[in-house]
Amino acid sequence: MTTPAAPRSPGARLRALMARPGILVMPGVYDGFSARLVESLGFEAAGISGAGLSETNLGWADVGLMGYEENLRSSAAIAACCGLALNADADTGYGNAVNVYFTVQGFERAGLAGVMIEDQAWPKRCGHMAGKSVISAEEGVEKIRAAAEARRDPGFVIRARTDSTAIHGLGEAIRRLNLYAEAGADVLFADALLSAEDIATAAKEVIRPLAVNMGFGIRSRPTTPLLSARQLEDMGVRVASYPRLLTSAAIQGMKNAMAVFTQSLTEGRVIERPDLQVPFDELNQLMGIARIRELEARFIGAASLIKSAAE
């Protein structure tokens, strides 16, 4: 009798996706809505946006106000509601290399596929904000070495991020990323690169796969130029992340709906704009109502459901 193969760990699944030909596109998610939507559209991996968690859970900008426990709790909930291979944003690891060690183990236990550790000084801030500072390269290496040794599953992916480009230049960023790779990082990420040429240079000179974040469009004056996934792939980039796409789209969608709602209040009439809202049935389907109904039928039984509905 053949023993069925054990299911692959989240980290192993993420590594397999990165090993496929072509660039791996990872939309940014921040809650159950966004994670389920991304999965329903056929994506197999996503990155949890630390900025998105801070902004949506705390209502404050990404300037280091969110701590380890809030980040872990939110990330675990997202991992539990979908089948995506998720990369978490663990900021600076919330302390020194010892803190990083336990931070990584916490995210691995929570069902994440990987985690990103950055070399900013705490309190950190969004990579595209002014006023960043970084720790020494030596301390960054200690943190990545601790992260790599902390994982119990060898498939768990360590992404090392440097924010040193804006402070010390591209050459230092590349030097740091290669040091982090030697310390055990699987994927490398230089945040806030200033040009397409910088991206191409980094992709060529780092010794592990390069990840790049794509942010807002030209209207918002991004630090990093907005390029297509195909352009990034041609430059040698292996992972393209879009951490701000869905959070900014959600705000714009709510603004559009509230503008019509306030207009209806002012004019004293109902204004129907079905194009601004997801239908109720579609929302429930996205949120797993079919699975809930299946479990109700198995464990509660039709008679109990009818009685409950009648009451």
Residue 5 lies in a domain: no
Phi/psi at 254 (nearest 5 deg)? -65, -40
Residue 1 lies in a domain: no
Whether the model pTM is above 0.85: yes
Same domain, 82 and 187: yes
Of 134, 84, 133, nearest in space to 111 by CA: 84
Instruction: Give residue-wise pLDDT tens across range 173-224.
Output: 999 999 999 999 999 999 989 899 999 999 999 999 999 999 865 455 557 8
The total of other beta-carbon atoms located within 10 Å of residue 58's CB is 13
Q: Which two tokens stand for residue 286?
A: 């996205």
Residue 22 lies in a domain: yes
User: What percent of the chain shows pLDDT beyond 70?
Assistant: 92
CATH number at 26 reads: 3.20.20.60
Same domain, 91 and 132: yes
Q: What is the mean pLDDT of residues 45-72?
A: 96
Residue 119 lies in a domain: yes
* Lowest-confidence segment of 100-104, 162-166, 199-203 by average pLDDT: 162-166
Same domain, 90 and 208: yes
Q: What is the pLDDT of residue 126?
A: 78
Of 188, 185, 247, 182, nearest in space to 220 by CA: 247
Into how many domains does the chain fold? 3
Q: How confident is the prediction for the chain on average, in pLDDT?
A: 93
Same domain, 143 and 273: no
Residue 70 lies in a domain: yes
Cβ proximity of 116 and 140 under 8 Å: no
**Which residue segment(s) compose the domain that 210 sits in?**
10-217+226-243
